[in-house]
Structure formats: C-alpha cells, structure tokens
Amino acid sequence: MIRPILRYGETALHTKAARVEKFDDELRKLLRDMAETMYTAPGVGLAAPQIGVPLRVFVIDISVGKRAGELIEMVNPEFVTCEGIQLEEEGCLSIPGFEATVVRPLRAVVHGFDRDGSEKTVEGTGLLARALQHEMDHLDGSLFVDRLRGIKRDVILRKVQKLRRTGQW
C-alpha cells in the first residue's frame, strides 16, 4: 500500500523515532508499504517517520528499483563508523522540488536488524553512504536542510513557507 509522504514542517519529521520492539507481521507490512511508497515516489530511500510512523526503520535502493535484489531494509540501525567526506547534491521526498549540496561521509557502516530480527550490517560508499546518513538523520528527526547553513538554507525555507501560505505545500 502506498502511503502519503509527510512534508517538511510536519511534527513527525522533526521528532526522534522509537526503537522497534516487535518483529512481527505488522513490521513486515510496514517495510513492504515503505518500499512500494519509495519506488512510486520515486526515491532512493524512505524512513518510517516520513510516512508518519515514529519507528527506527528505513528502506534504501540506490537503483530506484531498476536492479532486483538491491532493496536494503534496516530496523533499529546504528552507525558503526563513518569516514571521509563527500559533497554532492541531494534532495528529499519530504522536501520535493528542492536540492542542495550536503556534507556526507564517503563511507558508512550501519548495523541493525532485518525484518525478522536477525542482525545485519550494511557498508556503503558514495551514493549508498550518503543515503545511509540521510535516512539515519530522518530517524533522529533531522532533514537535509537542517545540515545547511546560511543563504541556501534560508532560501529553501522561505520558499517552503511561501508554498505553505499559498496552499501548495
């Protein structure tokens, strides 16, 4: 089931998500819905808070569904390590139409669990490392614009406020 994606300014996007306590059919359905929502959007990642579910869960597929078997599902993820720096443009399904250059790690390793509660570690470089950090930020109530400073951040936030005032957000 495709779920609505919350937009910047919604309280759920700015709140730290809770750990998953039960690995059950409800969690598996959430993960299926998240993947379907992400692919339909389309996007490379989606965190549960983006669909209004305050749990530490995300999905990523940097192929955007073009290559089978590349979907990553993570439950209760934690960083093991982040190394290096990359500066690339990125956007967010919760801030549609806006992109900015964000500092992200060049390499990231995340440890957590799969849909059945088995331990899982994901290591990524380049786009995958960036996606891992992006989705981890969502689980902590942060969006990419929160990492920006100065004029670029102000411009995006002013445009979002204008869209909100005119009912287009």
Give the start-to-end residue ranges of the domains of the chain. Answer: 11-165
- The one-digit pLDDT tens for each residue of the chain (169 residues) are 999 999 999 999 999 999 999 999 999 999 999 999 999 999 999 999 999 999 999 999 999 999 999 999 999 999 999 999 999 999 999 999 999 999 999 999 999 999 999 999 999 999 999 999 999 999 999 999 999 999 999 999 999 999 999 999 9
Nearest CA-CA partner of 108 in 92, 93, 86: 86
Asked if 70 contacts 60 with a C-beta cutoff of 8 angstroms, the reply is no
Residue type for position 155: V
Q: Which of 73, 88, 99, 135 is catalytic?
A: 135
pTM: 0.96
Q: What integer pLDDT is reported at residue 65 of this predicted model? A: 92
Bridge partners, 124 (sequence order): 108
Q: What integer pLDDT is reported at residue 40 of this predicted model? A: 97
Q: Where are the beta strands (DSSP E) in the chain?
A: 45-47, 57-60, 72-83, 86-91, 99-104, 107-113, 119-125
Q: What integer pLDDT is reported at residue 91 of this predicted model? A: 97
The answer to whether 99 is a known catalytic residue is: no
Q: Which CATH superfamily is domain 11-165 in?
A: Peptide deformylase (3.90.45.10)
Residue type for position 58: F
Task: Name the maximum alpha-carbon separation found in the chain.
Answer: 47
Asked if 58 contacts 77 with a C-beta cutoff of 8 angstroms, the reply is yes
What's the start-to-end Cα distance of the chain, in Å?
A: 23
